[in-house]
Chain A
Amino acid sequence: MKQLLILSGKGGTGKTTIASAFIKLAEARAYADCDVDAPNLHLITGWNTEPEKKDYYGLPKAEIDPEKCTACDLCRQNCRFEAILVEGEYQADPFACEGCGVCEFVCPAGAVTMVPAVAGELMLYTGGEKVFSTAQLKMGSGTSGKLVTEVKKQMKEAAAGVQLAIIDGSPGIGCPVIASLSGVDMVLVVAEPSVSGISDLQRIIDTAAKSGIKTAVCINKFDTNMEKAEEIERFCQDRRLPFIGKIPFDTDAVKAVNNGQTIVDLDCASGRAVKEVYERTMELLFAGGAG
């Protein structure tokens, strides 16, 4: 199975719009949404069946038994995450608690226990020989990296014989991005032609470079700032990154997406451009033989 991951650094550049177009063009039988914090891919992939759902457990959370608590304050004093709140009773704040267990260790009264905590939900859509894996992280949660790993694992297990998997990634450069990079064969970075977009592009390229994975760049909405678009092409040349193409800004794209369609479901400028980007991406991905 060859895995293609779509990242951006900056949010809102069009990862999901492009990922959904690729999935349509490839008639992909396996795809995943690794933006577990704010998943959107399910809104345009048109599944009308219910997915299999599974609770995702992150790190355990501290719970304080008020009957045993003597209010000695040792837990609060030793907690590095400001996760012990005192509102009359001593309570652990489930949003700040990192599950380290220090409070349980220092408590002289045995009033603290670490309990498993649901941090999100995994969803797996299967049908018609296709598999779509996604998840939703509970708000305020950490351990998004592990959930991303579960999303990819779930997809791989359900789609064992499939040749190509397309993964819609998350913005940023932190743990969900780092987790999504693991084991993929190629990264396509979708860049935005703006000062912010270029700054963010450099940071995501630096992050992806640490993984040693083949990385290519395309520009979305390139005609919103031709000067910056050219700057991105020069950046790619300097960093020896394959520059795969550019897609114009297209109001038809917004209309399509708002109707739950991909940009290749109708005849429009962005749809035609993304087709070329798709073809070049596949050439690069499968260069050196199919996996």
Chain B
Amino acid sequence: MRIAVLSGKGGTGKTLLAVNLAAVAKNATYIDCDVEEPNGHLFFKPEGVQEEIVTVRVPQVENERCNGCRKCVEFCNFNALAYAKELIVFEEICHSCGGCIMTCPEKALTEKERAIGIVQKGTAGPVRVLTGMLNPGEPSGVPVIKKLLAEENPEASKEIFLDSPPGSACIVMESIKDADYCILVAEPTIFGVHNLNMVYELVRLLKKPFGVVLNKCLAGENPAEKFCLERKIKILGRIPFDQELGRLNSNARIAAAESEKYAALFVDILEAVRGEVRHETVADS
């Protein structure tokens, strides 16, 4: 059961929620798909961490075989190749499509691996923790997320919590495309609602079952709650704006592990999610 946690806006509480849900679910896997700025591992402090380098394939030329026909240069839609006395490859522009290799009539092009990031696997008690990290300067984390999600072993745990990047661009889509259920986290500000709308459109486009968790709830009108009520969106839970919770989170402590009060809060949300997922499964069968 893959449960993705996402929000259009950054800083709404995706990691807070994904980390604490995995912690109370116990026999769970937590996967940090925010490979540009991964934070979950700071909370879990996993042990026995194994690391693997993530690479992408880029072309390399054997100059003796190259006759300067330029077919590869003309083919490349990304302009990653140029020919001036010999072939020049711009590795960071290459999208690794493999097309140039195919177009070369002289078989002068082969592929080599280029490192762009790492995937770390470890455990924190009963929770399996997988973290993806993109090397600073690299433009796209998509290959790191692909590797991360390929590493997960669906048999290993009952529930897999995917902590997505903020926004709704290609890296978010890559993170949630195989999710079974999506939790949208929303904060009660106009920015929060505006961006909630974006991920709401995204999960509907991908036809994912979803629900909303309202975070940082204060007294008074909550524009995010209004948004949900108007569209009859299931509200899975409400996390109050709470200085103590904020402090624990700020110090990278897992709130559910530190206090009964917070454990109960997250267990309630987890049960609500499980209820929705069961409902979806029954409805599908």
Contacts and interface: CB of A to CB of B under 8 A. Distances in A.
Chains A and B touch each other in the complex, with CB atoms below 8 Å apart? yes
Interface of A: 8-13, 16, 37-38, 40, 43, 59-60, 78, 80-81, 95, 98-102, 105-106, 114, 137, 139-142, 144-145, 170-175, 178, 192-197, 199-200, 203-204, 206-207, 210, 224-225, 228, 251, 254, 257-258, 260
B223 A258 contact: yes
B237 interface: no
Given A37-B169, A175-B140, A194-B252, A101 B77 contact: yes
B36 A173 contact: yes
B169 A257 contact: no
Contacts, number: 172
B252 A196 contact: yes
Contacts of A102: 97-99, 102
B102 to A, nearest CB: 6
Nearest to A16: B191
B47 interface: no
Interface of B: 8-12, 15, 36-37, 39, 42, 75, 77-78, 95-99, 102-103, 134, 136-142, 165-173, 187-191, 194-195, 198, 201-202, 205, 218, 223, 246-247, 249-252
B95 A139 contact: no
A204 B39 CA distance: 14
Contacts of A78: 98, 102
Contacts of A193: 250
Classify the secondary structure of A's interface with B.
Answer: loop
A137 B10 CA distance: 16
A62 B255 CA distance: 47
B138 to A, nearest CB: 7
Contacts of B171: 174
A21 B223 CA distance: 23
B169 A141 contact: yes
A139 B99 contact: no
A98 B99 CA distance: 12
Closest 10 CB pairs of A and B: A11-B10, A12-B11, A100-B97, A195-B252, A175-B139, A194-B250, A37-B167, A196-B39, A172-B36, A139-B168
A140 B167 contact: no
A11 B166 CA distance: 7
B137 A145 contact: no
A154 to B, nearest CB: 20
Contacts of B247: 224-225
B99 A12 contact: no
B198 A38 contact: yes
A99 B134 CA distance: 23
Contacts of B249: 194
B136 A210 contact: yes
Most buried by B among A40, A60, A140: A140
Given A13-B11, A172-B165, A174-B134, A200 B77 contact: no
A228 B98 contact: no
A11 B11 contact: yes
A21 to B, nearest CB: 14
Contacts of B78: 59, 100
Contact of A100 (B77, B136, B195): B77
Nearest to A137: B169
Given A102-B98, A172-B36, A140 B173 contact: yes
13 contacts: A40-B191, A100-B77, A100-B78, A101-B97, A105-B99, A140-B169, A140-B173, A142-B169, A175-B139, A196-B252, A200-B39, A254-B218, A258-B190
Contact of A99 (B77, B96, B140): B77
Nearest to B7: A11
A174 B138 contact: yes
Contacts of B167: 37-38, 170-171
A38 B195 contact: yes
Nearest to A98: B95
B168 A257 contact: no
